[in-house]
Each structure stands twice: as structure tokens, then as C-alpha cells.
Amino acid sequence: MHFGEDLHKRILDNLYDGVYFTDTDRRITYWNKAAERITGFIAAEVIGRHCHDNILNHVDEDGAQLCFGPCPLANCMRDNVLREREIFLHHKDGHRIPVLVRVAPVHDEKGILLGAVEIFSDRFSHDDMRNRIEELERRAMMDGLTKTANRSYTETVIQQRLDEYRRYGWSFGILFFDIDNFKQINDTYGHVAGDKVLAMTARTLMYNVRSFDLVGRWGGEEFVVAVRANDFESLRKLASKLWRLIGSSVLHDNNAVVLAVTVSVGATLIMPADTAESVVARADSLMYESKRGGKNRVTVG
């Protein structure tokens, strides 16, 4: 490698943003250190493979598979138009991470297309995540396996949200998630895989809610999320987004897909006559409606 190429590589490797290059066949030819940090995939695992091998398994907020459909990178090479888009990539550990993607075609000095470059920025603050975990640890309010709030702390926060609702009129909603067929996962793949599924689901939830929302493990394979929401439409939108992101997460072992995960979800808004117990019970009941309806769905009420 020439000095100039080596210098450019060192610069790219020290960027905070993930960067990768592909040739015209969408074969990955370069993968920087930030791409490794953000995705969990090291360069040796991806260089030489095609991005449409679905390594990162890009999806949009509606759950559409971008690598097999409206791929921004493929489109920019076709029409020579730069693109920017918010998407959700698949981390090697299985969870979904929100990123801002920018793609551009790459040409040689004669204008011949050589491929494309994609730059992606982590949209979630790892400082925020670390601060959340440290605060929960300090207060002994963290579930050890999933790093979410434990049930006791979740109940405390829901009561605080209820007090705020009565005092200030600040509305909130409860989302109740239950991993489908979890006993079968444990029985088929073992409890180690089951623990990984729990952790993967928890990370997808934590990475994709707002800093003022709370994710807690309610028990077993159940999670409760307390969210700021003023109406059923915004509640439905958030619940559906999280449901789709979990449903598009997959657990890998040596780059081979081991299993996919789905959840049944119940979502409800606080009502004037509610107690902390009743609003959670209603969300739980709506989750069971999703179960009775065939699982892998969201019920709002």
C-alpha cells in the first residue's frame, strides 16, 4: 500500500462513523473500525461478501427489507444520485440499531463507475445507554441478564408516571411484550440460547425507545415499556415499530441464522380511573388478545 493509501486508511479507520466500500456488484471491499464497533462484525467477516448477502439486514421503520428491495446503495449506483436515509441495521448479536445512512457512487478519474461508499452514523447515544445502566446498577434496580430495569423499579416508575398524570396531565402508555414460543426456544436450543434471545430482545427495545421511556423486564420472557404518548395513534405507531424491529432480529452463530424471534404485544393509554396495577393489567390482557389472535401481532386498546 502506498503512503497516501495508508494515510487515507488510517483516517477512515479513526472516523466515528461506520464506512464501507463496495464494487459495482455490491461486493464489500473495505470496512472501517467504526463499522466493526457499530455492527459487531469485524472486517474479516464481511470483506469479500456482497451487501445483498443481507449481512446487516437493513430494514426501514415499516419492516421492509432494503437489501432485497429499495436498496439506497444500489439505487445510487444506478442513477448517480446521493441518498440519505434513517434505517435499522442488524447487529451481530441480533438486536436492531437505528442508524443514519448516507450513500454515494464512486467513480475513477475518467468517470467510470467503480462502486459505492456507505457511511452510517449510530443514532443512539452509547453515553445515554451507559448512564442508564450505571444508574440502575447504583440503585440495584437492574435485571442482571437483560440490563433493563427490574420489575420493582419498573413498578416504581409507572407509579411516578401515574402521579405526574394526575398532577400535570402528562399522558403515558404501557406496552407489554411477550416473546412467542419461548419455552419451545429453550427446549429446542437450550437455556443459553434462550438467554441470548432475552438479551437481544431487550437491546432492540432499549436502542429504539426515547431516553425518557423506560424498558423493564416484567418476568420470564415478558417486558414492559412505559412511554410518553398522548393518543392511541402515536402509541400504536411506536408499538408497531418495536414489534417489527424485534420480528426482524435474528440470533446468529458463526454467521449462520439460528432462529428468528417474534413477540405478541399489548398497548394501552392511561385512563383517569386507572391505578398503576390496572393499566399494566390492561396492557397484559391486550397482549393475550394478540396471543389468542395467532401471536406475532400488536393489539391496542
CATH 3.30.450.20 location in the chain: 3-122
CATH of domain 126-300: 3.30.70.270
C-alpha 282/C-alpha 280 separation (Å) is 5
Q: Which residues share a beta bridge with 172?
A: 228
Spatial strand order of the sheet with 222-228 comes to 214-219, 222-228, 172-179, 263-269, 298-300
Active-site annotation holder among 45, 84, 118, 221: 221
Residue 134 is a catalytic residue? no
Percent of the chain, pLDDT > 90?
59
Q: Which residues share a beta bridge with 21?
A: 30, 117
C-alpha 135/C-alpha 19 separation (Å) is 33
- In this structure, are residues 173 and 165 in contact, taking their beta carbons and an 8 Å threshold? no
CATH 3.30.70.270 location in the chain: 126-300
Q: Which residues share a beta bridge with 176?
A: 224, 266
pLDDT-based confidence at residue 286 (cuts at 50, 70, 90): very high
Mean pLDDT of the chain: 88
Contacting residues for 237 by C-beta, under 8 A, at least 6 apart:
none
C-alpha 218/C-alpha 150 separation (Å) is 7
Residue 119 vs residues 46, 72, 85: alpha-carbon distances, Å: 16, 12, 11
| pLDDT at residue 3 in the model | 36
Angle at the Cα of 39 from the Cα atoms of 254 and 240, rounded to 5 degrees:
100
| pLDDT at residue 206 in the model | 93
* 0.95 exceeded by pTM: no
Domain 3-122 in CATH: superfamily? PAS domain (3.30.450.20)
Q: What is the mean pLDDT of residues 33-50?
A: 92
pLDDT-based confidence at residue 1 (cuts at 50, 70, 90): very low
- In this structure, are residues 214 and 133 in contact, taking their beta carbons and an 8 Å threshold? no
Tell me: pLDDT of 15 over 80: no
Selection from 103, 70, 66 nearest residue 88 by Cα? 66
Q: Which three cell numbers stand for residue 226?
A: 412505559
Tell me: pLDDT of 34 over 70: yes
C-alpha 30/C-alpha 36 separation (Å) is 11
Tell me: pLDDT of 257 over 80: no
